Homo-oligomer: A and B are copies of this chain.
Amino acid sequence: MSSTYGEMIKLSIFGESHGAAIGMTLDGVPAGLPVDFDKLQEFLNRRAPGQNDWSTPRREEDRPEFLSGILNGFTTGAPIAAIIRNTNTRSGDYNNLKNCPRPGHADYTAQVKYRGFQDAAGGGHFSGRLTAPLCIAGGLCKQWLENEGVRIGARIVSISDAIDNYEPDSLDCELDQIPKDFPVFTASVAEQMKQRIAQARAEGDSVGGVIECYAEGVPAGLGEPMFGGMESRIAQIVYGIPAVKCVEFGAGEFASFLTGSQNNDRFFPAGDEIKTTTNHCGGILGGITNGMPILFRAVIKPTPSISKPQQTVNLETGERTVIQIKGRHDPCIVPRAVPVVEAAAAIAIFDAWLEFKARR
């Protein structure tokens, strides 16, 4: 397992935050699928840092170089490989992270697991920067799914206690209504969210939030039983995104407050198709898609990097110490995580769709 995902496609992600490059290989993609590089770059730009007020000022272009698997704008059937060079490379001042692990980060667990051999600079392989290659793979899968009529989009539901209670229509999830710049349905709540972020920044603190993702146009029948169900597949990859601490589908936690007669989605005939009047199941029954939009939420914890002093332990001396994280960090990664969640969903659904074709 580790940094490899997929049944039909094998996605392998590599790289360390301050190493030479980060990248991905994507094996098992059919030949002849078109690639729109401009559209991919647009997608990657949504994740890239330093583009606005509410993200880190570290500016790095996430411009992938494709090394194989695509020729004349189409996939060749051979593994696709792409890399992004790191411009902010190791500067030698990261030994501190090994000795005094930052609370909420993987510094301590990496130190225990890799016994000091890990590349600790910038979080190394655990850096949020590794979501860039995830977005390369996911951006491609998203394009290919679109060609099959599957559209994926996500929106911010909440940041800290600023919550957008708007619920889009259950049939098409109003994907076209999600603003591109700051993907929140209700404009006034979007302003509140930005205020929460600005306030956290001002206080040297951080905030988290909730992202809701939709996949519309997914045919019924995708997913395999038990551990191969769509919830299992999507949760496995979404939990690969740093800072995610909850993944829920459809009504999710709220379903525990409903009775069966309230929660069960009623079937009705809609032309040649069968639809449901509600979508509490998030488009998935028994792990298999039912033709309604897939709907899930990912909860992002507040960025662990804060400039406030924090208590930790000096691993060399075993004594308590206080660290203060320098540099400028995102006070909230939720907006930048939106395309990452979309990417993860796209990879999981594309993988399941190929598997579906195999047994059709």
Contact = CB atoms under 8 A, between A and B. Distances in A.
User: Copies per complex?
Assistant: 4
A178 interface: no
Q: On chain A, which size bracket covers the interface?
A: 35 or more
A320 interface: yes
A242 interface: yes
A218 B315 CA distance: 20
A4 to B, nearest CB: 5
A74 to B, nearest CB: 5
A104 B258 contact: no
A161 to B, nearest CB: 6
Interface string A232-265: 1101110110101111111111011111111111
B245 A240 contact: no
Contacts of A166: none
A23 interface: yes
9 contacts: A2-B226, A4-B4, A112-B290, A227-B236, A233-B236, A235-B247, A246-B249, A246-B252, A255-B302
Given A3-B27, A78-B225, 10 more contacts: A1-B355, A3-B226, A16-B78, A71-B117, A78-B118, A105-B285, A105-B286, A239-B287, A263-B301, A358-B358
